């Protein structure tokens, strides 16, 4: 079995694959202060609850936008699973030509998403919207090249900034309000946050489509994808496991396989 780790600034997504099948997925809070042994307690416990023996994990792959956690998870995997993980980063063979001005500035997770989206939902052009700490828009040309994208604050950190900077506002559950015109503070915050992000998504996707020629398919992924997809028809596909699937595919490339 293959264990895949997508290490983000806010969450760490863990997936276990048996061949092409996803057996289980989990999301952990990212904490750069935690040690390998502390993360291991959590990961081993999750595997046990899913009935997956530790010995069944014989391969691993990871991508991280938090450099400090790469050696932590390498140590975890080597000590508790006796496997050396494939670490996706600059120089990793992915089959994607990166046309960014400086390819080293592109987060590994963005290219992982491109690999998965092209494999599963191609042919390109494609637009990928990844809802994480940042809301990330990525563009793939008709030739399959990574062109670049756009970065906006994620819905979570945007709402937190509002609560921290406005003395009279407070944290609310980001649920769908009854109407766009809020009749109280809770509804007003919910409307501005949820519907405001829908407007951001639709506007950015429209601009990307125009620049790509108008025919691009749009794929959403990340923690907020399902909820925001209920408010707009802009997405052709919602796939919360897109990054994990991309990691599986890239792992296969490094091991000489193409699943």
- Through-space distance between the first and last CA atoms of the chain, rounded to whole angstroms: 14
Residue 233's alpha-carbon distances to 149, 198, 230, in angstroms, are 21, 10, 8
Topology of the domain covering 2-88: Nucleotidyltransferase; domain 5 (3.30.420)
Q: Whats the size of the chain, residue-wise?
A: 259
Residues with pLDDT less than 50, the chain: none
Query: Which pairing describes strands 59-64 and 2-7: parallel, antiparallel, or unpaired?
Result: parallel
Q: Where are the domains of the chain?
A: 2-88, 122-241
Please tell me if the domain spanning 2-88 has the same topology as the one spanning 122-241. Answer: yes
Tokens of 100: 């960014």
Integer angstrom CA distances of residue 175 from 120, 200, 221: 31, 18, 19
What distance in Å separates the CA atoms of residue 173 and residue 182, rounded to the nearest whole number? 14
Q: How far is CA 242 from the centre of its chain?
A: 7
Distance of CA 235 to the CA centre of its chain: 16
Taking the whole predicted model, whether its pTM rises above 0.75 is answered as yes
What is the structure's pLDDT at 214? 83
What secondary structure, in 3-state letters, does 4-54 show? Answer: EEEECCCEEEEEEEECCEEEEEEEEECCCCCCHHHHHHHHHHHHHHCCCCH
The one catalytic residue among 6, 109, 130, 138: 109
Q: What is the pLDDT of residue 257?
A: 57
**Strands of 134-140's sheet, edge to edge?**
146-153, 134-140, 126-131, 217-222, 237-238
Domain over 122-241 is classified CATH 3.30.470.10: no
Buried/exposed code over 195-216 (b: 16+ C-beta within 10 A; e: otherwise):
bebbebbeebbeebbeebeeeb
Catalytic site includes residue 239? no
Separation between Cα atoms, residue 123 and residue 126, nearest integer Å: 8
pLDDT at residue number 165: 79
62-97: pLDDT as tens digits: 999 999 999 999 999 999 999 999 999 888 989 999
């Amino acid at each position: 079995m293959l264990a895949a780790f997508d290490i983000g600034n806010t969450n760490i997504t863990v997936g276990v694959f048996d061949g092409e099948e996803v057996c289980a997925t989990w999301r952990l809070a990212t904490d750069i202060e935690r040690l390998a042994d502390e993360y291991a307690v959590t990961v081993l416990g999750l595997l046990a609850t899913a009935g997956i023996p530790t010995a069944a994990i014989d391969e691993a792959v990871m991508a991280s936008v938090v450099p400090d956690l790469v050696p932590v998870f390498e140590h975890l995997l080597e000590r508790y699973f006796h496997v050396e993980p494939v670490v996706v980063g600059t120089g990793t063979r992915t089959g994607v030509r990166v046309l960014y001005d400086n390819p080293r500035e592109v987060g590994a997770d963005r290219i992982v998403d491109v690999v998965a989206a092209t494999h599963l939902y191609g042919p390109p052009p494609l637009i990928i919207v990844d809802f994480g700490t940042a809301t990330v828009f990525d563009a793939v040309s008709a030739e399959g090249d990574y062109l670049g994208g756009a970065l906006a604050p994620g819905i979570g950190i945007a709402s937190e900034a509002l609560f921290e900077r406005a003395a009279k506002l407070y944290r609310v559950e980001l649920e769908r309000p009854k109407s766009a015109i809020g009749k109280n503070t809770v509804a007003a915050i919910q409307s501005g946050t949820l519907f405001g992000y829908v407007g951001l998504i639709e506007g950015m996707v429209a601009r990307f489509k125009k620049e790509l020629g108008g025919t691009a398919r749009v794929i959403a992924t990340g923690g907020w994808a399902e909820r925001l997809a209920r408010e707009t028809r802009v997405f052709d596909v919602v796939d919360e496991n897109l990054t994990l699937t991309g990691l599986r595919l890239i792992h296969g490339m490094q091991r000489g396989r193409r699943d």
